Amino acid sequence: MIAENFQNSFETAKGAFVANDAKSAQEWIDRALRLNGQDKAAYDLSVRIGVLPEVLRLYQLAAEAEIQNQQSDLQKYLQRIVTLDPMRQDISSQLAALTEQLKQARYNRHLRQATQYIAAENTRTARQEVNKAKALYPARQAISALFDQIDAIERTKRINTMLEEIQALKSQDNWPKVLALYEHILREDNSNRAAINGREKANKIIAANNRAIKILNNQHRLQDAKVHQKTLEFVELIKPLSQDSQTLSDTIVTLEQRLELWQKKNKVVVFSDGKSMIIVRRVGRIGPVTQKSIQLKPGKYDFECSRDGFKSKIVEHFVPPGQSGTSVKITCDVRI
């Protein structure tokens, strides 16, 4: 009898619950629990009935929000209903669909805003918007495409900044730093034509100046006619580059001056005893003299004297470029 009364009370409570009659449902479920307080189904139903008034109020609010197209409020009310009564599968499904719809709307809004910021080249804010969209849908291709656009704008800005810095460095004639910046640009964009051409010119100017300085540091080699001629040809080859580098221009001027000095003969005074025969190897005969002035191009020379009955002697003498009046004293004074 008790079991039958419990079942009747339980079923009546269920019917009232389905009919949204919270008061009647509460009365019948209380009666059922008095008859069998250990029944789990009855207990679970009592919990749902207990929150039914609030659920019904939220249903009403959700309906009004839906009519007014207040999607965020609708989501809030549906979430509260599911929290109070997780067994309402229809609401859970509606909430899931609405949540996905709102998520997609937020995603689209972030993409629109990112696109606007990209158009204005405000990459910092654009990147923030794309990151927000990425947090919603990490794997979507549109995310990568927008990041690529942002990266391209920022890369262009960096390159333009470096190109401006390069112009300032050119005016300072700082070609090593110019070259370093062109190399940096090409790491950013290996097809940048301005950087490719600029790097080529910078390398030529640096190489030309380095070679010219090396020649100046070893200018004794200019005594050799072939070296002298090749150096003249080299100077003519690099002269056009000097229009872009005052340092190279100054180096070329110095080198041309040294080339001229190495070709200009200087007076050399030879002193001897008037008995020894004096020659300059690979140049010619001076003869037996006590004092004689001769003209020689700069360089290293071997003066040799010979005399019957005496040992020959060789004296090495260097004629500096641009310096006239050096002297050589050579005499055969050691008997055989």
* pLDDT tens-digit readout, 144-167: 999 999 999 999 999 999 999 999
pLDDT at site 281: 95
Q: What DSSP character marks residue 220?
A: G
> How do beta strands 284-287 and 277-280 pair?
antiparallel
Strand order in the sheet with 266-271: 291-296, 266-271, 326-329
Mean pLDDT of 80-87: 96
3-state helix, strand, coil in the chain (%, to 5): 70, 15, 20
pLDDT at site 336: 86
Q: What is the pLDDT of residues 202-236, one digit of tens each?
A: 999 999 999 999 999 999 899 888 999 999 999 99
pLDDT at site 191: 95
**Is the pLDDT score of 1 beyond 90?**
no
Q: Which has the closest alpha carbon to 258: 294, 240, 281, 234?
A: 234
C-alpha angle with apex 14: 11 to 16, nearest 5 degrees? Answer: 110
- CATH topology classification for 266-329: Immunoglobulin-like (2.60.40)
Q: What is the pLDDT of residues 105-130, one digit of tens each?
A: 999 999 999 999 999 999 999 999 99
pLDDT at site 2: 81
Per-residue confidence band for 3, with pLDDT thresholds at 50, 70 and 90: confident
Beta-carbon contacts of 226 under 8 Å, excluding residues fewer than 6 positions away, are: none
Which position has the token pair 């990147």?
Answer: 127
Per-residue confidence band for 64, with pLDDT thresholds at 50, 70 and 90: very high
> Cβ(59)–Cβ(20) under 8 Å?
no
Q: Spell out the domain ranges in the chain.
A: 2-87, 172-263, 266-329
Question: What tokens does 328 get?
Answer: 């050589």
